Amino acid sequence: MKVFYFTGSGNSLSVAKQLSEEVINIATCAQGEYSDDSIGIVFPVYCYDIPFIVRDFLTSTKLNAPYIWAVGTCGSSVGYSFYTIDALLRKQGRKLSYSKKIVLPDSCIAFKTPSPAKEKMLDAEKDTVASFKSDVIAKKPNALFKDKLFRINRIAWWAIKTFFGSKHKRVTDACNGCGICQKICPTNNITLEGKPAFGDNCEYCFGCIQWCPQRAIVFGKLSIDDSSKYTHPSLKASEMITRNKK
């Protein structure tokens, strides 16, 4: 069983590692063709749909498996994510056999998950993922589902880009040039010339702002604070950086 994942704050990597010993980073894997008896995709939900990088992966990479499944990590809703994945797979002559969501703390600083809720979500993670794993090992099928009646992903992306776009990102005087943001960026969108500079290939994963030890990155008028600070507690920045080099 192969499991492909994409992650910013670490939620999807944490889930992927519990589901399989063979986890492959979508941000660094070679495009082409992959075969197995079971292939999974674990991804964070952005604006009620899949990240651009996951869409590109499913467009350029052929997955040969009789059983393909997906798990979406989200703060509340997967929106149309599974319908999007199924549509992209059908262009390859495949389909999505199984899909589930797991609600975990939100890494987007605009949508803060209250501390009591964070603890409850993280406490439930292990048992929830174990249930998913049992299902996919047994190759159980299920029906596709969506959490939003209407497609509002385009409106949501417009809002995100308008308020959090690359032109709105900057660093404060707290930045010490450590370079963690550059190393942890899954799309190599950050260059370091004393201080970080942000390019136009952002996935809006909020990894740079969440993993910055100095809390020095600002998105528009929003800066990180104790209530919006979140990275998955089972992961360290060093592992995230190492996986981005594979």
Instruction: State mean pLDDT over 190-215.
Output: 92
pLDDT at residue 194, rounded to an integer: 86
pLDDT at residue 164, rounded to an integer: 62
- Asked if the model's pLDDT at residue 160 lies above 90, the reply is no
pLDDT at residue 246, rounded to an integer: 64
230 three-class SS: coil
162-243 matches 2-137 in CATH topology: no
**How far, CA to CA in Å, does 110 sit from each of 107, 141, 198?**
9, 35, 19
- Asked if the model's pLDDT at residue 172 lies above 60, the reply is yes
String of b and e for 216-227 (b: at least 16 CB within 10 Å)? bbbbeeeebeee
- What ranges do the domains of the chain cover? 2-137, 162-243
Instruction: State mean pLDDT over 94-109.
Output: 95
Residue 63 pLDDT class (50, 70, 90 cuts): very high
Residue 163 pLDDT class (50, 70, 90 cuts): low
Question: What's 122's DSSP letter?
Answer: H
Residue 61 pLDDT class (50, 70, 90 cuts): very high
In CATH, what class is 2-137?
alpha beta
Per the listing, tokens 């979406």 go with 72
pLDDT at residue 16, rounded to an integer: 98
- Asked if the model's pLDDT at residue 157 lies above 90, the reply is no
Residue 150 pLDDT class (50, 70, 90 cuts): low
- Asked if the model's pLDDT at residue 123 lies above 70, the reply is yes
How many CB atoms sit inside 10 A of residue 241's CB? 16
Please tell me the least confidently modeled range out of 160-164, 187-191, 220-224, 237-241: 160-164
Residue 151 pLDDT class (50, 70, 90 cuts): low
pLDDT at residue 125, rounded to an integer: 98
- Asked if the model's pLDDT at residue 223 lies above 60, the reply is yes
How many CB atoms sit inside 10 A of residue 41's CB? 28
Specify the CATH architecture of the domain 162-243: 2-Layer Sandwich (3.30)
Instruction: State mean pLDDT over 65-76.
Output: 96
For residue 44, the one-letter residue type is P
- Asked if the model's pLDDT at residue 26 lies above 70, the reply is yes
Q: The dihedral of CA 150, 100, 75, 107: what is its sign? A: negative
Pseudo-torsion of CA 157, 72, 52, 6, nearest 10°?
130
pLDDT at residue 230, rounded to an integer: 95
User: pTM for the complete prediction?
Assistant: 0.92
Name the average pLDDT for the chain.
Answer: 91
Residue 147 pLDDT class (50, 70, 90 cuts): confident
- Asked if the model's pLDDT at residue 166 lies above 60, the reply is no
